[in-house]
Amino acid sequence: RLRLHDGKLIKDRRYHLRTYPNCFVAKELTDWLIDRKEAPDRETGIRLMQKLMDHYIIHHVCDEHSDYKDAKLLYRFRKDDGTFPLSKDVKVFMRGQSLYEKLVSVEESILKVREENSVKYQRTFLGREMIDWLVQEGEVENRKEAVELGRVLLEHGIIQHVSNRHHFFDSDILYQFWINFRRRRRLTELLNENSPRTLSESPDSPFCLRKLNPDPGNTSFLSVQTNKEIKIVSAVRRSSITSLAGNSNPYFSTTPVLVFPPVAECNPKSVLKRPVTNEELLSPGAPYIKKTLTIVGDAVGWGFVVRGGRPCHIQAVDPGGPAAAAGMKVCQFVFSVNGVYVLHLDYQTISSLIMTGPRTLVMEVMEGIE
């Protein structure tokens, strides 16, 4: 955006006797992306700008087009007209960036290269050190508030435990900034932002910000009651409305309306012998082992049921489904989904995260040692 202002591509433009301030012509911008080698071709340039539209960064000046057209149409950055949404996610990201810049600009910074289990990590700090620094610098009022801030930063993917095993605590546990805010970036990285492999292999990516508690929305996740003997459960398997109704046609012509039953009806008896807390799972020496499962969904989904919350557990597994083939078992606890830490989430949010993700599902689960 700033480069476009400097290059005079963003300026006041007149169209049909009306002046539109601070806007750019889509076709000119596509040319600029190719000339500056930000995009290899026009198709990629269009995809990049569509990403910015999808993330509410740019929009058509009259909001008459919801997609980016490579034509003589006027678009504008939302920061230039005051419509950029400062959501909680954006505010957390900006707070994380501010803290990072402050930390790297001071002498004797707490951010250092440290080693744990013979592995070196960049931009690391101890939880206790970060809390001391936040209180000392007046970023927070007290240690409790500092812990809360650290947890928010971790849940939004800005910091993480170096081996992604712990939430944020006031202790000598080692954490690191997951995002290197100062690295030179290219727009083409936007096109890889939804790839879990890209995120795990490129921790410096500026687009790896991932909210660990996504806002619930409409998904294809269904809660169904197949007969009177089986209670309603939340099964992580895709199903079509018509197949549930007994129609063999796997397609439907109208958009399904998802109706979730009342909580009282959607609460089958847990398969767990007793409640288990996150603290118990994560405490040193706890009798649990972590396993990574790669589950490739079939035509109807993945074949398991998630229940509970904070932590969630596997309530049921379809013996003939992909999850069972990958090694999933009843009573395992869900630690992460596609690289996202989820121990603190409820089953509805985790189900939404799974259903809106890729077909190949990578899950970390914690299993009790017998």
Residue 205 has pLDDT above 80, yes or no: no
Provide the residue type at 355 as one letter: M
Quick one: pLDDT at residue 299? Answer: 66
Residue 238 has pLDDT above 90, yes or no: no
Residue 13 has pLDDT above 70, yes or no: yes
Residue 218 has pLDDT above 70, yes or no: no
Q: Is the dihedral of CA 288, 290, 296, 302 positive or negative?
A: positive
Beta-carbon contacts of 264 under 8 Å, excluding residues fewer than 6 positions away, are: none
In the DSSP assignment, the letter for residue 156 is T
Distance CA 4, CA 10 (A): 6
In the chain, residues under CATH classification 2.30.42.10 are 278-368
pTM of model > 0.75? no
DSSP calls for 207-247:
T----SSPPP---S--EE--STTSPPEEEEE---HHHHTT-
In the chain, residues under CATH classification 1.10.10.10 are 1-77, 88-177
Could you report the per-residue pLDDT of 23-39, keeping only the tens digit for each? 999 999 999 999 998 99
Distance CA 199, CA 196 (A): 5
Number of other CB atoms surrounding residue 124 within 10 Å? 20
Mean pLDDT of the chain: 78
CATH topology of domain 1-77: Arc Repressor Mutant, subunit A (1.10.10)
The architecture in CATH of the region 88-177 reads Orthogonal Bundle (1.10)
| Bigger pLDDT: 125 vs 117 | 125
Domain covering 278-368 in this structure, CATH number: 2.30.42.10
Residue 344 has pLDDT above 60, yes or no: yes
Pairing of strands 119-126, 340-341: unpaired
Residue 153, SS3 per DSSP = helix
Mean predicted confidence (pLDDT) in 89-101: 88
Q: How far apart are the first and last CA of the chain?
A: 57
Nearest C-alpha neighbor of 152 from the set 208, 196, 213: 213
Q: Are 278 and 310 in contact (CB under 8 A)?
A: yes
Give CA 110 to chain center in angstroms. Answer: 27
Quick one: pLDDT at residue 232? Answer: 30
Residue 145 has pLDDT above 90, yes or no: yes
Residue 208 has pLDDT above 50, yes or no: no
Range in 99-108, 191-200, 339-348 with the lowest mean pLDDT = 191-200
Give CA 150 to chain center in angstroms. Answer: 17
| Cα atoms in the Cβ-side hemisphere of radius 13 Å centred on 331 | 12
Nearest C-alpha neighbor of 364 from the set 282, 284, 292, 289: 292
Structure tokens at 349: 């949010």
Residue percentage of the chain with pLDDT more than 90: 39
Provide the residue type at 11 as one letter: K
In the DSSP assignment, the letter for residue 78 is G
Question: Which of the four pLDDT bands, split at 50, 70 and 90, describes residue 178?
Answer: confident
Structure tokens at 113: 């290269």
Quick one: pLDDT at residue 319? Answer: 83
Question: Which of the four pLDDT bands, split at 50, 70 and 90, describes residue 365?
Answer: very high
Structure tokens at 62: 């009259």
Using alpha carbons, list the distances in angstroms from residue 343 to 250, 282, 290.
Answer: 35, 10, 13
Could you report the per-residue pLDDT of 47-68, keeping only the tens digit for each? 999 999 988 899 999 988 889 9
Quote the Cα angle for 86-90-96, to 5°. Answer: 135
